[in-house]
Amino acid sequence: METGKQIVTSLIMAALSLTALAQGTVVTGIIQDHREVPITGARICQVNTANCTAADIDGLFHLLLEPGKVMNLQVECLGFKTVEVQVDQSTAFPLKITLTPMYNPDELAINDNAIADSKRSAMRSSLTIDAVFSDFTEFTPELGSYNTDIMDYFAVIGPELGATVSRVYFGFGFGFGYSYKDDYDTLIVDLNNTLYKLNFGYDLVSTRRIRMTPILSVRWLRYRLMNYPGERQITLTNYLEERDIDLRFNQTIAVAGLKLEYLMYTASPGRSDYWSVGIEGGYAVKLNQTPWVYSKGNRIMTDHRIGLNPLTFGLSLTYYTVFR
């Protein structure tokens, strides 16, 4: 008796399968976003028909196509761009259909993951501000407080170019300081600062919005101090008494610090480049204890030292060009 029922059941299932095959092709697939997260409730329709279905909680769908009509599918979901998928007799199932968010450009969705990808490389172009606090007190007897007071604060602004390869950063930068000029009695005091630096770092944290990079920096600080009389015509005696000078102080330092950046995106279609604003702080030590001092034609020997406040800081505005 049981054998007879099994035979009848098998015949019915076979008949239903033949009916389904006669009616058309059964399409199966999964709907997901650019992060490969399943999309629930996406609507899948056979093009130019009312033959539709919806994706389940796992993004899966099944649709029996009407025979004699175009087999292509149209997939749509609120918040995502509508896509049309080509289907023919050679199509392999299940289909894997990816929807792009409407608020993202076509390629920006991919770039979200690319930014945080540790194997992604990028060129960095920055405008930086660096500040170092120094102390020229030991030079006061020779130069006078009117000179040394203005040399106690070293600040420069300038470009930095670098690259990140597999989270490792290296870059070179230089900066020019404010041109301080003032009258001291009948004497003109003129100071110019210049900085050259070589930076190395590792992107310890690299997410869509935040990047944290420990930095090791070697910096060459250059101070140019000029004194000359303010009058256009002076006697030789006054010229010598006013101590007309042109000195260049050179001090190298190493800075171990941490840079924190907030990332912003261009939102330009087909682009993966982005901006960041950053703040940097560090601890500085001197590499040469006594500075190298030069005048126009001589190297000046001295035992005096430039004092250095170990705490430094900087600001940056950076543009990242991502390598494809």
DSSP track, 8-45 = HHHHHHHHHHHHHHHH-PEEEEEEEETT--B-TT-EEE
User: Which of 263, 201, 255, 189 is CA-nearest to residue 226?
Assistant: 189
Residue-wise pLDDT tens digits, 153-196 = 888 999 999 999 988 999 999 999 867 888 887 788 999 999 99
Q: Which of 79-88, 184-193, 203-212, 269-278 has the lowest mean pLDDT?
A: 269-278
Top pLDDT among 177 and 310 is at 310
At 117, the pLDDT band (50, 70, 90 cuts) reads very low
In one letter, which amino acid is 63?
A: L
Confidence of residue 18 (pLDDT cuts 50, 70, 90): very low
DSSP 301: P
CB 306 within 8 A of CB 134: yes
On the question of pLDDT at 19 being above 70, the answer is no
pLDDT above 90 for 225 = yes
SS3 call for 233? coil
Question: Are 118 and 124 in contact, with CB atoms under 8 Å apart?
Answer: no
State the pLDDT at residue 58: 92
Rounded average pLDDT over 255-280: 82
Q: DSSP labels for 150-184? A: GGSEEEEEEEEEEEEETTEEEEEEEEEE--EEEEE
pLDDT at 323: 75
Per-residue DSSP letter, 240: H
Q: Mean of the pLDDT values across residues 206-212?
A: 89
Residue 85 has pLDDT above 90, yes or no: yes
Nearest to 80 by CA among 52, 50, 49, 59: 59
What does the block give as tokens for 195? 């900085």
Question: Cβ(128)–Cβ(61) under 8 Å?
Answer: no
Please check the confidence at residue 238 and state whether its pLDDT lies above 90: no
The per-residue pLDDT for 294 is 94
Q: In sequence order, what are the residues at sequence separation of 6 or more whose Cβ sits closer than 8 angstroms to the Cβ of residue 51?
A: 45, 63, 64, 65, 66
Q: How far apart are the first and last CA of the chain?
A: 69
Q: What is the pTM of this model?
A: 0.62
Whether 52 shows a pLDDT value over 90: the answer reads yes
Residue 63 has pLDDT above 60, yes or no: yes
Mean pLDDT score of the chain, rounded to an integer?
84
Q: 62 vs 237, which has greater pLDDT?
A: 62
State residue 131's pLDDT score: 94
pLDDT for position 112: 45
Q: Which H, E and C letters describe 59-102, residue by residue?
A: CEEEEECCCCCCCCEEEECCCECCEEECCCCCCCCCEEEEECEC
Number of alpha carbons in the 13 Å side-chain half-sphere of residue 302: 24
Q: What is the three-class DSSP state of 293?
A: strand
108 pLDDT higher than 50: no
d(CA 259, CA 213): 5
Give the whole-angstrom CA distance, residue 265 versus residue 256: 29
All structural domains of the chain: 2-102 (2.60.40.1120), 110-322 (2.40.160.20)
Q: Is the peptide bond before 310 cis (omega within 30 degrees of 0)?
A: no
Q: Which residue has the higher pLDDT, 91 or 253?
A: 253
Q: Are 43 and 59 in contact (CB under 8 A)?
A: no
Check: CB of residue 27 under 8 Å from CB of residue 73: yes
Residue 297 has pLDDT above 90, yes or no: no
pLDDT of residue 217: 97
